[in-house]
Structure 1
Amino acid sequence: METRDKLFTEEQYVKQLAKYTDRIERFNSIIEQSERNRKEPVNPDFYGRLFDCKVNYIVTMYSMGEKLECIKSNYISTINVLEKCWTPYGYYVQMLWLLSIGIMLEYDDNVIHKLRVLIDREEVKDRVYDVLLNYRFPERKEMADCVFDDVPYRAILEVSDLAKTNKTQTTKRLEKYLKREWYRGHSDCAWHDDHKYGIIHDGYWSFESGALVKVLGLDDSNLKGLPYYPYDMVHWNDTK
């Protein structure tokens, strides 16, 4: 198996997945016991911690080099947990990852619709969400003139505007985003620079960049091989 994110070895990723599996089983057990008990509602924090582990598991699988087909079952079970705990304030980025992955891997509308319901329920004003959701649900027609999280996602306003008139310039703007803005713009995230410590590293991926290429119909040949760009996820169905 060839790793996609080279900052960790396959062995390190395997050990990490084992730890996530243990945590997922532990939180599932706690939640199941609470649900059986029924004396008190399940603490939402347990759903949130379970969700974190499950998202991190998916990203780690991708970084390690697992086949894309292996991600789907984990993806669907992760969305089922997300429905129990999501708010844009706590999980904006994770929602964006899941939405982008679902679009790139062309999961069924009924799966992606669950994400749409959560986003629309919270009335989130966000251009990135809107561009991606409207691609799958053209009748939706929402299009915010802002992004929920300005750094680094404000660049997507330019990307989506340029796509209306100049696809070549759109790709160049996305290239700049990947090279200069995406990673630096997440410097306040707990996972930023975690590869330097050799303890835990899920992988660094701008999944929304891949989803935008698919949605906007861009030529991403110049993006292939760039750090953070999930090229094979964008093109997984090209030869099928």
Structure 2
Amino acid sequence: MEQRDKLFTEEQYIKQLTQYTARIEKLNCMIEQLEKDGDEISPDFYGRLFDCRVNTIVTMYSMGKDLESIKSDFILTIKVFEKCWTPYGYYVHMLWLLSIAIMLDYEDDIVQKLCDMIENNGVKDHIYDILLNYRFSSHNEISKCVFDDIPYHAILDVTNLVQQDKILAVQRLKKYLAKEWYRGHSDCAWYNDHKYGIIHDGYWSFESGALVKVLGLDDSILKGQPYYPYDMVHWADNQK
């Protein structure tokens, strides 16, 4: 098992995954008890469980787990996400999950759950729309803006350039990955967390991979680029 994100050691990732698993089991037990007692469960409580689940997925990818092994965790994560989703606090997480589902060709009913959350909340976002239109022709809306401008405004440049020249589009995406993506998340809790040696899930621009697949770009120049999930983009190629 070769690590994809080498900013943590294998031992650190294994320890972290064990901690996430224990926390998920504890939270699930607490939820079951609350349900049994007939008590109301707040979205914040489900939010804590969701954080553990989505962080588990990213950690598994970073430590080099087979992509097929992620699917069961992904489905369970979506079930929890439906109970705590708000477009304001979970924009990046929705982008991660939607992108992973696109790259790994998950079934329409799985992606539809994410689509329903977005549409039912009336979220207008260019990246969401590009990805959803790839899977569902019925979505057919393309917003001209992104919900979170920094760093995602750069994606508008990429999708605009596709209409003119796909080589220019992928070059713009490379600049986004090299100079804008990580720095643009400086306000996120996970920014620079690898420096402290306590917890580090991994740094991945999953939306970049999904856009390459959806827009039909040649990502040869992106192979080995930090933050780019190259093998996830090409997962379907290896299934043939």
Letter aligned with residue 209 of structure 2: G
Listed as ranges, the matches of 1:42-57 within 5 Å are 42-57=41-56
Listed as ranges, the matches of 1:57-206 within 5 Å are 57-206=56-205
For residue 238 of structure 1, give the secondary structure of its aligned residue in structure 2.
Answer: helix
- Deviation per residue, 1:55-80 (Å, 9 max, x gap): 00000000000000000000000000
Gaps of 5+ in 2: none
Provide the residue aligned with 1:6 in structure 2: 6
Letter aligned with residue 179 of structure 1: A
The 10-residue stretch of structure 1 (159-168 or 93-102) with the greater mean CA deviation from structure 2 = 159-168
Provide the residue aligned with 1:228 in structure 2: 227
- Deviation per residue, 1:178-217 (Å, 9 max, x gap): 0000000000000000000011000000000000000000
Provide the residue aligned with 1:15 in structure 2: 15
Cα RMSD (Å): 0.7
How many angstroms does 1:6 deviate by?
0.6
* Structure 2 Cα separation of the partners of residues 139 and 83 of structure 1: 21
Letter aligned with residue 207 of structure 1: F
1:28 aligns with 2:31: no
Letter aligned with residue 16 of structure 2: Q
How many angstroms does 1:139 deviate by?
2.1
* Structure 2 Cα separation of the partners of residues 23 and 108 of structure 1: 28
* Structure 2 Cα separation of the partners of residues 88 and 139 of structure 1: 21
Gaps of 5+ in 1: none
* Structure 2 Cα separation of the partners of residues 149 and 192 of structure 1: 17
* Structure 1 Cα separation of the partners of residues 228 and 11 of structure 2: 23
User: What TM-score do the two structures reach when normalised by structure 2?
Assistant: 0.98
User: What TM-score do the two structures reach when normalised by structure 1?
Assistant: 0.98
* Structure 2 Cα separation of the partners of residues 143 and 150 of structure 1: 16
Post-superposition, which runs of at least 4 consecutive aligned residues in structure 1 deviate over 3 A? none
* Structure 2 Cα separation of the partners of residues 32 and 142 of structure 1: 39
- Deviation per residue, 1:135-187 (Å, 9 max, x gap): 00022111111000000000111111111221001000000000000000000
* Structure 2 Cα separation of the partners of residues 49 and 90 of structure 1: 12
- Deviation per residue, 1:97-154 (Å, 9 max, x gap): 0000000000000000000000001111100100000100022111111000000000
* Structure 1 Cα separation of the partners of residues 192 and 200 of structure 2: 9
For residue 21 of structure 2, give the secondary structure of its aligned residue in structure 1.
Answer: helix
For residue 144 of structure 2, give the secondary structure of its aligned residue in structure 1.
Answer: coil
Aligned length: 239
* Structure 2 Cα separation of the partners of residues 2 and 171 of structure 1: 27
* Structure 1 Cα separation of the partners of residues 91 and 124 of structure 2: 12
Q: Percent identity?
A: 69
For residue 199 of structure 1, give the secondary structure of its aligned residue in structure 2.
Answer: coil
